[in-house]
Amino acid sequence: AIQMTQSPSSLSASVGDRVTITCRASQGIRNDLGWYQQKPGQAPKLLIFAASTLHSGVPSRFSASGSGTDFTLTISSLQPEDFATYFCLQDYSYPFTFGQGTKVEI
Amino acid sequence: QVQLVQSGAEVKKPGATVKVSCKASGYAFSDYYMHWVRQAPGQGLEWMGWINPKSGVTVYAQEFKDRVTMTSDTSIRTVYMELRRLRSDDTAVYYCARDMTGDDDFDHWGQGTVVIVSS
């Protein structure tokens, strides 16, 4: 199975900060990667698909890039509602695999 | 609006079987694959497989292949995930998630079903 390694596993940031999360795949996955946000007690929400396409309704402060093995999610100006855990998901090959998550804390 | 409503929490003994349902509304049920993802307490997310509700075709993660069955009933717009021979490490929240475009991006999720496996 393809391993997805996210970094950092957690970070502390303030409102207004620029935050970058990375995800590295153990082998090339083209651009078959999504980013999800999960808040405690809630289901994940889709932010980004196809590595860099913003899902409908997601604020434009979220952006992402990457292809092959290295991917990044950037929040340009952190808002109070963005404190959550973020996961990447590769859907290039079975079994689909998630990164271990990055918890963004105040 | 799209809604996925899952069945309620379950407590099972090791070796038992659990069947979780996911009822869809607000869209053309048969046109979107449905995936199942689980999350153990305090852990990350684990993909289990998907079902094409129209054809019943399924793809399962190898880890679950011998123990899981996903089915659909188009007449009541519901998909099911059955997991057999439960173990304590199957304790998790189980989610259904709609495949947005057939490209394995999950745009709507159920609220989750807690399954606890304990003797």
- Tens-place pLDDT, residues A13-62: 999 999 999 999 999 999 999 999 999 999 999 999 999 999 999 999 99
Residues 2-61, chain B: which have Cβ within 8 Å of A?
37, 44-47, 59, 61
Instruction: List, in order, residues 6 or more apart from B101 with CB less than 8 Å away.
Output: none
Task: Please state, in angstroms and rounded to a whole number, the distance separating the CA atoms of residues A96 and A100.
Answer: 13
Contacts of B66 by beta carbon, 8 Å cutoff, 6+ apart: none
Res A106 pLDDT > 90: no
Residue listed under structure tokens 């303030």: A14
Are B105 and A36 inside 8 Å of each other by CB? no
Q: What is the pLDDT of residue B104?
A: 84
Following DSSP, what letter does each residue of A26-53 receive, concatenated?
SS--TT-EEEEEE-TTS--EEEEETTTE
Q: What is the pLDDT of residue A52?
A: 97
- For position A87, what pLDDT does the model report? 98
Give the tens place of pLDDT for each residue, A72-104. 999 999 999 999 999 999 999 999 999 999 999
CA–CA dist A74, A60 (Å, integer): 10
| Average pLDDT score, chain A | 97
Return the number of CB contacts < 8 Å for A and B. 57
From the list B101, B95, B112, B98, the residue with the least C-alpha distance to B2 is: B98
B106 chain-A contacts, CB cut-off 8 A: 34, 36, 44, 46, 89
Q: How far is A74 from chain B (nearest CA, A)?
A: 19
Residues of chain B scoring pLDDT < 70: none
DSSP code for A55 = P
Sign of the dihedral through C-alpha A76, A80, A85, A91 = negative
Q: What does the alpha-carbon distance between residue B109 and residue B23 come to, in Å, rounded to a whole number?
A: 11
Token output for A64: 């992402």
Q: Do A94 and B105 touch (CB under 8 A)?
A: no
Task: Read off φ and ψ for residue A80, nearest 5 degrees.
Answer: -55, -35
Q: What share of chain A is helix, strand, coil (3-state, %, to 5)?
A: 5, 50, 50
- C-alpha A39/C-alpha A105 separation (Å) is 11
